[in-house]
Amino acid sequence: MRQEQRKTIALAIGDPNGIGPEIAVKAARQYAGDPRVDLVLVGDEHVVRFYAARLAADMAIGALGDKDANARALKLLPVESLPEAAFAPGQGNAQSGRATVDYVSAAIGLVKQGRASAVVACPHSESAVNAAGIAFAGYPGLVARIMGIPETEVFLMLVGAGLRIVHVTLHERLQSALARITPDLICKAADAAADVLRSSGMERPKIGVFGINPHAGEGGLFGDDDERITIPAAARLRQAGLDVEGPLGADLMLGRRDVDAFVAMYHDQGHIPIKLLAGRNSAAMSIGAGVVFSSVGHGSAFDIAGRFIAEPDALIRSIELVSGGTALAQHAGAA
C-alpha cells in the first residue's frame, strides 16, 4: 500500500488580538509529530511566543525548513506586522486587522511557492480589517485579491452537521445581494462546489439549488425572480453535465439527504441551517481560487481572548477538512 505523503498546512493565526493565536498554538501542539499533517504557524513571533509560553512551554519554536528542529517543535513562519505595543488581547483594532491580512498573504505565499499544500486561517474581525482601510467582507474576497482573480469567482462554502452549502452572495446588504444574483453567478458557485467535491473523491456530486423566493416563486405566484434567474441557471448546469436538483424552496431542498452540496442565494439562507445544526463547529472553505483554503465558522471572540479558555475544536475540524483527499466527504457526514 502506498504511504500518503505528509501534508504541510500553513496555519494563519487570524486576528492576533482575538482567540486565533491561542487556538492555533493549541492545534499545533496537538498535531506535533502527526504523520499526516505538518502545521506551520504564520504570524508575529512575539504573539505566538506569548501563547506558547503558557500553552506549550515544553516545546521549542522552530523555523520553517529547519531540518535540525525537534520533530515536536512548533514550526513558525514569522511575519512582522503587529507592533508589540499593539498586542492587546481582547481589543481588535486597525493594527490587528492589518496583521490578519498580512498573515493570510504570507500563508498563501507558501502555497504559491510550493512549500505548503493548503491554508487554514483562524478567525478574523471584519471591523478591524476595515478599520485598517482595507476593503474586507470575509476571507473569500481577500483570497481572490491575493490570487489575482475577480472576487466574483471565489465563494464561501460552509461545511458541518452533514451539510455543505456554497453561497452565491455573502456579506452585503440583502437588497444589493439580490440585485447581483444572475444565472452566471449561480453557475460559477455551483461549478466551484462541484470541483471541490470531485477533488475530494466524489465522481458525480449532486448539487441542490435553492430558490430565491419562497417555494422558488411557486410558478411566478411569489415573483418572477426564479423564473428569470435560478431556473435558467439550473438548466444551464444540467446542460453542462452537472447533476442538479431544483431550484426548490430552501426549506424543502434542505430535507434532501441525497444532495451533496446546496447552493444558497444569500448569507442567511445558507448560514442559518449550518449554524443551527453545527454551531461553532462548522468549517468554512473559500473555493474557486485554485488554492485549498479553509477557516473556522466562528468569530474572534474578543471577550475571552487572552484568557486561555478558547477551544480549538472548530479549527481542528478545518484542518481535517484539508488534510486528506476524502476529508471533505468525511467531515460533512459527521453530525
pLDDT at residue 4 greater than cutoff 90: no
Q: What is the pLDDT of residues 249-272, one digit of tens each?
A: 999 999 999 999 999 999 999 999
pLDDT at residue 5 greater than cutoff 50: yes
**Percentage of the chain modeled with pLDDT above 70:** 93
Identify the bridge partners of residue 41 per DSSP, sorted by sequence position: 11, 76
In angstroms, the CA 76 to CA 199 distance is 29
What is the per-residue pLDDT for 70?
Answer: 60
Least confident of 25-29, 240-244, 276-280: 276-280
In angstroms, the CA 67 to CA 71 distance is 9
Cβ count within 10 A of residue 200: 21
What mean pLDDT is predicted for residues 288-296? Answer: 93
Q: What is the pLDDT of residues 47-73, one digit of tens each?
A: 999 999 999 999 988 877 665 456 678
The grid coordinates listed for 176 are 444589493
What is the per-residue pLDDT for 217?
Answer: 83
Q: What is the mean pLDDT of the chain?
A: 91
In angstroms, the CA 46 to CA 285 distance is 28
What is the per-residue pLDDT for 293?
Answer: 94
What mean pLDDT is predicted for residues 311-320? Answer: 92
pLDDT grade, residue 8 (50/70/90)?
very high
In angstroms, the CA 216 to CA 90 distance is 43
pLDDT grade, residue 1 (50/70/90)?
very low
pLDDT grade, residue 329 (50/70/90)?
low
Hunting for cell 492545534 — which residue is that? 27
CB 118 within 8 A of CB 292: yes
Domain ranges for the chain: 1-149+288-306, 155-284
DSSP string, 28-67: HHHHTT-SSEEEEEEE-HHHHHHHHHHH-TTS-EEETT-T
What is the per-residue pLDDT for 73?
Answer: 83
What mean pLDDT is predicted for residues 290-317? Answer: 93
CB 21 within 8 A of CB 29: no
What is the per-residue pLDDT for 34?
Answer: 87
Q: What is the pLDDT of residues 111-141, one digit of tens each?
A: 999 999 999 999 999 999 999 999 998 899 9
What mean pLDDT is predicted for residues 310-331? Answer: 77
In angstroms, the CA 101 to CA 107 distance is 10
What is the CB-side half-sphere exposure of residue 177 using CA atoms within 13 A? 16
In angstroms, the CA 130 to CA 280 distance is 24
In angstroms, the CA 81 to CA 58 distance is 26
Q: What is the pLDDT of residues 98-119, one digit of tens each?
A: 999 999 999 999 999 999 999 9
* Coil, strand or helix at 268: helix
Least confident of 178-187, 218-227, 304-313: 218-227
Pair type for strands 283-287 and 155-160: antiparallel
What is the per-residue pLDDT for 335?
Answer: 38
The domain over range 1-149+288-306 is classified in CATH as 3.40.718.10: yes
CB 17 within 8 A of CB 88: yes
In angstroms, the CA 334 to CA 30 distance is 21
Residue 27 to residues 31, 94, 319, Cα–Cα distance (Å): 6, 26, 9
CB 212 within 8 A of CB 253: no
- The answer to whether 1-149+288-306 and 155-284 have equal CATH topology is yes
What is the per-residue pLDDT for 65?
Answer: 65
CATH number of 155-284: 3.40.718.10
